[in-house]
A and B are shown apart, each in its own frame.
Chain A
Amino acid sequence: MTPADPISNPARMDRRDAIKWMMTAAASAALLDRDAFGATPADPKNAKGYGTDPDVVKVYKPGDVWPLTLTSAQRATAAALCDVIIPADAKGPSASTVNVPDFIDEWISAPYPGHDDDRKVVLAGLTWIDQEAQKRFGNDFVNLIGRQKAAICDDICFVPKAKPEFRAAAQFFTRYRNLTAGGYYTTPEGMKDIGFTGNVAIEKFEGPPPEVLKKLGLV
């Protein structure tokens, strides 16, 4: 057996890009991150994991095992971006209404290896996207209208087609979209949205129904 670890090997930005980008983002972070003044966010480095013998039957929510660390401003940006990626439609709600920003906060606040890298990428990305919103439209990302948000996201949604100046942001967006999707599709609403109909006890497993076999040319 090998462990299911679907997103531990994301397309990482190369180190030089990442450092350059984060330093730029960090330089103006204080100006944008108003909650940072006077607030001392919990440091994930001091947090503990759930250990090798957690209660696995219990139902957990983000923040139950280690503290969440996003400031309210970061959280607002995170939620806005989640909903650009997964808005409500006829088949399911938006990502923020099923607490995906909490999941992302839990993820980037987790004390396990790799999460600190994601934390750097996500925090820098949220800072960048607010900066970019200010630069283009004179407002925070959360306050932009749909067309304006799309104008930014269109530039960063696909790494191979992103212009060089957007490459690092596009790598952030890719990671953020994966996290948003994972957070969303594991919720009951997300599972229904994507068409998962299992996790229920049934009397007999009969395999695919006739319409599936027909579509596959197997009848």
Chain B
Amino acid sequence: MPLITSSKTQPSYDVIVVGSGAAGGQTAYTCAMNGAKVLMLEAGRNYDPVAETPMFQTNAQAPLGGTSTPDKPFGFHDATIDGGWQVPGEPYTSASDDPARKFWWWRARMLGGRTNHWGRISLRNGQYDFKPKSRDGLGFDWPIDYKDVAPYYDKVEMLVGVYGTAEGLENTPDSPPGVLQPAPAMRAGEQYARARGKKLGLPVVSIHRAVLSMKQDAVGIPPKLHPNNPKAQRILAESMRARQACFWATPCGRGCSIKANYQSTTVHLPPALATGNLDIVPNAMAREVTTDASGKATGVIYIDKTTGQENTVKGKVIVLAASSAESVRIMLNSKSARFPNGIANSSGKVGKYIMDTVGASLQGHIPALENLPLHNEDGAGGGHTYVPWWLYKEQLAGKLGFARGYHVEFESGRRMPNLGTGAGLEALTNGSYGRQFKEDARRYYGSMIGFAGRGDMIPNDDSFCDLDPTVKDKWGIPVLRFHWKWSEHETRQAKHMQDTFASLIEAMGGTVRAKPQADGAKAIEPGGKIIHEVGGTIMGADPKTSVTNQWCQTWDVKNLFVTDGGPFCSNADKNPTLTIMALAWRASDYLLDEMKKGNL
């Protein structure tokens, strides 16, 4: 990819985007395709998925059989570079020593950020998800409705390519005909769960994931996404032709050299660069947003990690898309006489209401799946199936004891063996070894199924981040300090997940691999562990109680936007990335329009 160094930046840009993941990628794409001159700052190194993705490498070809280590928390072949819940030299702190009060902050320091390794699950927020307070009295309503975002969901799904089906389920929006790609067939265990889950009332349906199950329509889609913009249409068509359909092998978390799945580095950045309107400076650690006497944002100060030098770049509009907490950090560090508590923080809400997704999981052994005839179940390198939340009515009637729902993700099938293959079978094999063990390993391979719940978290006053008063990172930048607490709505939900998984495993004629956790506070994963970090710069209708308006534009500084997950004012069970992209596109359209009108 053509990239530039600090010394090659232009004197000024229309838009400076901090971050290159789902939010930064979408923002830069929309702005550059519409003619704005854009500079992107990325804190990590350049990354080329075409050259750097281990597509068919087996686990035995990696150190330690590819298992996770502190250097590579998702395993050796995972796409993440210089990232994890800990990044050397870039600490964060916790206000409490209590493990239940700690937040795990994941970062990836690489071009494309977390989009290179993410699960690609792409679910739309539903109507209820934008107006949760109106429904159950908790948390906040968004200042927008589903219908405001729906056109952008359509556009993003067509751009990145999402497979899935239309099921007509409550608060689980379907996409219009022609938008989604065909869903892949369900695997054996997924189909078996669907059949056996019926008596529990569980709707086991095709999941939506950002993976091309077929080549994109490079003729039909570009005019829909960029009407009256022939240059953008031509560039997007070329970019779509350069992407291949999935060949049903290798896990998506490694990234994709054939560009079959969505990552910013294969889908957003190549066409944005092809416009000639985008410069990217990698290894650029943003520290603060600069302002002038009138309180307008003027640029960004960053540390060039290759030289250690401090640099300033100028822009008419500044967009923070650094991940919600990193954007908070930049804002809190952008102090001046006019903004003594950090930029755009007159509400005092910058850093407040950070959220993650509720997570809990359980594994089961399903005898019916033993000794199945050999067949290839690799599929789309991730799940094909999920269970959308199905108890809306019971919940609304107050029968569940917690206010918000969750969906269920699956891990099943005859996946590429890893270090867990053949391990931990003693309870089933009475400790066999030798030829009997080999028979047992074949028998049980593929007969284990795992269920993971992913649930809504309600924002609360105890979950926020601020600047640590003393600790700085190796660049001398003050670091974040996290405060965290789950409410009973989340811990009870985690308990409910455990019961659901156990019931489903039982319905499949199986047995749980570990006793379901009766205490939700023990079942729930730590905050941040699911890596669905949102909130911290919530949007709202009132400048006194929110940081941005419905356009992700800060109330206090009209040429400062936040397009990552920060403006989320609730965190539905739906994985946030698709919504981040839809809102970033929507914010970018608004920003371009306002810029044209001279309002910024």
| A interface list, Cβ under 8 A from B | 1-8, 10, 49-54, 56-57, 59-60, 62, 64-65, 84-87, 89, 91-92, 103, 106-107, 110, 112-113, 150, 153, 157-159, 161, 170, 173-174, 177-179, 181-188, 190-191, 193-209, 211-213, 215-218
Q: Does B311 contact A (CB under 8 A)?
A: no
Residue ID in chain A nearest B246 by CB atoms = A205
Q: 6 interchain pairs (CB within 8 A)? A: A2-B452, A52-B88, A59-B61, A174-B431, A199-B56, A201-B248
Q: Once the chains are docked, how many angstroms separate the CA of A178 from the CA of B63?
A: 17
Contacts A198-B378, A212-B375 known; 13 new A-B pairs at CB < 8 A: A2-B529, A4-B68, A56-B254, A181-B422, A186-B419, A193-B438, A196-B445, A198-B376, A198-B377, A198-B414, A208-B372, A216-B368, A218-B191
| Residue from B45, B60, B418 in contact with A188 in the complex, judged by beta carbons closer than 8 Å | B60
B contact residues around A195 at 8 Å (CB): 374, 414, 442, 445-446
| Residue from B54, B84, B375, B446 in contact with A56 in the complex, judged by beta carbons closer than 8 Å | B54
Q: Once the chains are docked, how many angstroms separate the CA of A103 from the CA of B61?
A: 11
Q: Once the chains are docked, how many angstroms separate the CA of A195 from the CA of B374?
A: 6
Q: Once the chains are docked, how many angstroms separate the CA of A201 from the CA of B529?
A: 32
Binds A, one of B182-190, B389-397, B565-573, B587-595: B182-190
Q: Once the chains are docked, how many angstroms separate the CA of A179 from the CA of B379?
A: 28
A contact residues around B67 at 8 Å (CB): 4-8, 182
Across the interface, do A196 and B414 meet the contact criterion of CB distance under 8 Å? yes
Q: Once the chains are docked, how many angstroms separate the CA of A206 from the CA of B415?
A: 16
B136 to chain A, nearest CB (A): 28
| Residue from A157, A201, A216 in contact with B433 in the complex, judged by beta carbons closer than 8 Å | A157
Q: Once the chains are docked, how many angstroms separate the CA of A68 from the CA of B262?
A: 39
Q: Once the chains are docked, how many angstroms separate the CA of A9 from the CA of B441?
A: 20
B378 to chain A, nearest CB (A): 4
B contact residues around A194 at 8 Å (CB): 417, 421-422, 441-442, 445
Q: Once the chains are docked, how many angstroms separate the CA of A50 from the CA of B82?
A: 12
Binds A, one of B70-78, B278-286, B328-336, B479-487: B70-78
A contact residues around B254 at 8 Å (CB): 56
For the residues of A in contact with B, the DSSP-based class is: loop
A49 to chain B, nearest CB (A): 5
Q: Once the chains are docked, how many angstroms separate the CA of A57 from the CA of B417?
A: 19
Instruction: Digitize B445-461: 1 where CB-to-A-CB distance is under 8 Å, 0 elsewhere.
Output: 11000001000000000
| B interface list, Cβ under 8 A from A | 45, 51-54, 56-77, 81-84, 87-88, 118-119, 184-188, 191-192, 195, 246-250, 253-254, 359, 361, 368-369, 372-380, 414-424, 426, 430-435, 437-438, 441-442, 445-446, 452, 525, 529-531
Across the interface, do B62 and A60 meet the contact criterion of CB distance under 8 Å? yes
Across the interface, do B438 and A91 meet the contact criterion of CB distance under 8 Å? yes
| Contacts A56-B76, A190-B417, A197-B376; A205 near B248 (Cβ below 8 A) | yes
Q: Once the chains are docked, how many angstroms separate the CA of A184 from the CA of B531?
A: 32
B contact residues around A188 at 8 Å (CB): 58, 60
Residue ID in chain A nearest B118 by CB atoms = A1
Q: Once the chains are docked, how many angstroms separate the CA of A184 from the CA of B419?
A: 9
Q: Once the chains are docked, how many angstroms separate the CA of A215 from the CA of B192?
A: 11
B72 to chain A, nearest CB (A): 7
Across the interface, do A182 and B421 meet the contact criterion of CB distance under 8 Å? yes
Across the interface, do B249 and A201 meet the contact criterion of CB distance under 8 Å? yes
Across the interface, do A86 and B438 meet the contact criterion of CB distance under 8 Å? yes
| Residue from B188, B247, B431 in contact with A158 in the complex, judged by beta carbons closer than 8 Å | B431
A-B pairs with the 9 shortest C-beta distances? A6-B420, A158-B431, A207-B185, A181-B422, A182-B419, A198-B378, A201-B247, A178-B423, A157-B431
